[in-house]
Amino acid sequence: MDTSAFKVHGIEFLQVGGETYGRVTDGASHALYPLCPAVFEKPARAVMTDLDGTTLSSEMFWVYVIECTMRELLGDKKFGLEEADLPFVCGYTTAEHLRYCIGKYAPGKSLAEANAIYHRAARRELDAVLRGEGNTGSFVPAPGLKEFLLALKKSGVKIGLATSGLEYKAVPEIAAVFRTIGLGDPLAFYDAVITGGKRKDSGEYGTIGEIAAKPHPFLYSELACFGLHEPDPRRVIGIEDSAAGVLSLRFAGYAVLGVNGGTIAASGLDALCLRKRDSLADFLDDIL
């Protein structure tokens, strides 16, 4: 049997006997998922969307939390990051962001101490956001979000929201954006919401989305099957801005619409998307 292998976005793809598999490696563990052709038949019965980068933009809020962390770590209430720091405090892990800041501004300080301060600051600031206070303006709705969501609701399409992020981070983010666009309580609006570690639909809990996050398929598989109760993958479609999210959806067997401006193109995964658009509202003709 003929076999070959190539890598895209850190994922090793194996072609075996005309079929393609993606191998996801987490430390010493490996998981192998088939990458089958994804068939979508509109109108959709369910739509699944990612949170950060797809539904909203939150980068500047998390930069602000890093500044709060460094102020406490340094004992300097006037500390502020420089514009040159932004590429190093966006788009990586929290540990990498903090490690960079310690190296530049606080040599000798403990990463563990900085991390503890960071999570205290994040919870404090997010609690304020939930009350409609604090730095709420840092959460920006994606272009066309309100028109997109209302059109899906009017058409009777079930809507699911998925993020690998922890619940304490994700819920205030979407609550702030819904307050901005005037759509009330997002947990009442969405048919199902899955965050890292928890599922919110009919009061049930339990997801492995935090343990085996994107590009593993489980977050979207659980959202579609157990959150939205939609068994036919041909009538479900996902929307993502990230390469990891596209792979997660495709490994789960769902077609993908890609948002421009994320990491899909740079990772060479445009071909895995049915369409790519600038605004969520532009996807309505593709879905309905």
Report helix, strand or coil for 204.
coil
Neighbour tally for 84: CB within 10 Å: 8
This prediction has a pTM of 0.86
Distance CA 78, CA 119 (A): 20
Of 214, 238, 217, give the one whose Cα is nearest residue 228.
238
Of 228, 214, 130, give the one whose Cα is nearest residue 164.
214
Each residue's pLDDT tens digit in the chain (288 positions)? 455 667 776 788 888 888 899 888 876 668 899 998 999 999 999 999 999 999 999 888 999 999 999 999 999 999 999 999 988 887 667 888 999 999 999 999 999 999 999 999 999 999 988 888 888 788 999 999 999 999 999 999 999 999 887 788 888 999 999 999 999 999 999 999 988 765 555 444 455 555 677 888 989 999 999 899 999 999 999 999 988 899 999 999 999 999 999 889 988 899 999 999 999 999 999 999
Burial 130-164 (b: 16+ CB within 10 A, else e): eeeebbbebbbbbbbbbebbebbeeeebbbbbbbb
Distance CA 112, CA 32 (A): 34
> CATH homologous superfamily of domain 36-57+140-287?
HAD superfamily/HAD-like (3.40.50.1000)
Domain ranges of the chain: 1-34, 36-57+140-287, 59-137
- Could you read off the pLDDT of 115-155 as tens digits, one per residue? 999 999 999 999 988 888 888 788 999 999 999 999 999 99
| DSSP sequence for 65-116 | HHHHHHHHHHT-TT----GGGGGGSSSS-HHHHHHHHHHHH-TT--HHHHHH
Residue 132 has a pLDDT of 84
Distance CA 250, CA 10 (A): 16
- Could you read off the pLDDT of 80-108 as tens digits, one per residue? 999 999 888 876 678 889 999 999 999 99
